[in-house]
Structure 1
Amino acid sequence: MIKYKYTPLTVAACLLISSCSANLTDYQPQANNFDIKEYFNGPVTAWGTIQDGSNKVTRRFCVELDGKWDGNNGVLAEKFYFNDGEISYRNWNLVKQEDGIYQGNAEDVIGTAIGKHQGFAFQFNYTLRLPVDGTTYDVSMDDWMYQIDQYRVMNKTAISKFGFNVANVTLFFDKESPVKTCASDI
């Protein structure tokens, strides 16, 4: 059996390294910046997984999204189909501010979500009221979307509680015509 000895310096270095994360300014503006108002306009389908803190996949799902915009105000309706048979809904009310920052609200979001984009990346931060096994938790969502091309977007979300990562979500969005549905996927 191998035993590890942790010194205060080792623990401090690990905490410092694990607290580092990407910053939106890491992504340079480009000719066609990713803008969720343009991408999430009309039907989109996504497929994803939820991983626990050890990165073990605990659930798979498909989500059908439909976005409608009136000027800078949008509604993004989401219908989730989970592999265990659960179906859930979330309706985002989004507002694109003059400075390009997005604000959003949904039924299970506490307060206001704030989103910013730069280059091919979009970051959305919010607190989600998450039901798990009969108990409800308020968790922080650090949602990153990366536009691959005009039809596809990758999404990685870190879910944390008290500053500790407790789960992750990985999603792949596709809006290429004809848009697929979730009915036969999960």
Structure 2
Amino acid sequence: MFVSPILKVAGLLPLMVLLLASCNSVDVIDYKNNQPKLVAESFFDGQLRAAGVLKDRSGKVIRYFTADIKAYWKEGVGTLEEDFVFDDGEKQRRVWTLTPNGDNRYIGTAGDVIGESDIQVAGNSMFLGYVLRIPYGDGTIDITIDDRMYLVSENVLMNESSMSKFGVNVGQLLLVIQKVD
């Protein structure tokens, strides 16, 4: 039976795409041996302070912000009360709830997060993905967030977030979270 070369290549295309996608994938488990070890119940406990920038899809910084975070655990469930102040004076509040869900996993929820976030921790890292509903024009828009956090010292955590809509990059968020004595 004759199979045209075009059909042969077309038949291999899904496999090639899958292989290429897996080559670029970084998983939280890649950091399992990194130190210092991130223990959510320890780092996210007490008063925290964050500072960061929001970038548009071209990489240009379009906003600056700070946040005060009150973090605590009650009956094994974590709460992060985040109060943001942006450079234009806008204020936002987000309250996260972190519920343990097995070994080094949590379920994260917040009022402006659609559904639940699967949070994974390994070594010095915490990865989470979620859909955030944000104000846009006269309505709202849902943005997919890929958060990656890295504990760089006992009291300092770096966070980078990729934001996308329909799989297309729409921006980035970079911030540092520090424990306050």
Pairwise same-fold verdict (TM > 0.5): yes
CA distance in 1, matches of 2:27, 2:72: 29
Relative to total residues, which structure has the larger helix share, 1 or 2? 2
Q: How big is the shift at 1:166?
A: 0.6
TM-score (norm 1): 0.81
Inter-partner Cα distance in structure 1 for 2:147 and 2:122: 14
Provide the rounded CA distance (Å) in 1 between the counterparts of 2:160 and 2:38.
16
- Per the alignment, in what secondary structure is the counterpart of residue 34 of structure 1? coil
> For residues 72 and 160 of structure 1, do their structure 2 counterparts lie closer, same or farther at Cα, with a shift above 3 Å needed?
same
Q: Paired residue for 1:92?
A: 96
Identity of aligned residues (%): 34
* 1:35–1:122 contact (8 Å) kept in structure 2: no
Q: Is the 8 A contact 2:45 2:73 kept in 1?
A: yes
Take 2:86 and 2:34, find their aligned partners in 1: how far apart are those partners?
36
SS of structure 1 residue aligned to 2:153: coil
Q: How many residues align?
A: 164
TM-score scaled to structure 2, two decimals? 0.83
The gaps in structure 2 that reach 5 residues or longer are 1-15
1:1-186 aligned within 5 A: 20-30=24-34, 32-177=36-181
Structure 1 unpaired stretches of 5+ = 1-11, 178-186
Q: Which amino acid aligns with 2:93?
A: Y
Moved more, 56-65 or 96-105: 96-105
Please give the secondary structure, in 2, of the residue aligned with 1:37: helix
**Range 19-28 or range 79-88, more displaced:** 19-28
What amino acid is the match of 1:102? Y
- Contact in 2 for aligned 1:45/1:173 (Cα 8 Å): yes
- After superposition, the Cα gap between the structure-2 partners of 1:135 and 1:70, relative to the gap in structure 1 and judged at 3 Å, is same
Comparing 22-31 with 65-74, which one deviates more in the overlay? 22-31
1:148 partner SS:
strand
**CA offset at residue 23 of structure 1?**
1.6
Contact 2:65 2:84 in 1 (8 A): yes
Measure the CA separation in 1 of the matches of 2:25 and 2:57.
17
Distance 2:121 2:39 in 1: 7
Classify the secondary structure of the residue corresponding to 2:41. helix
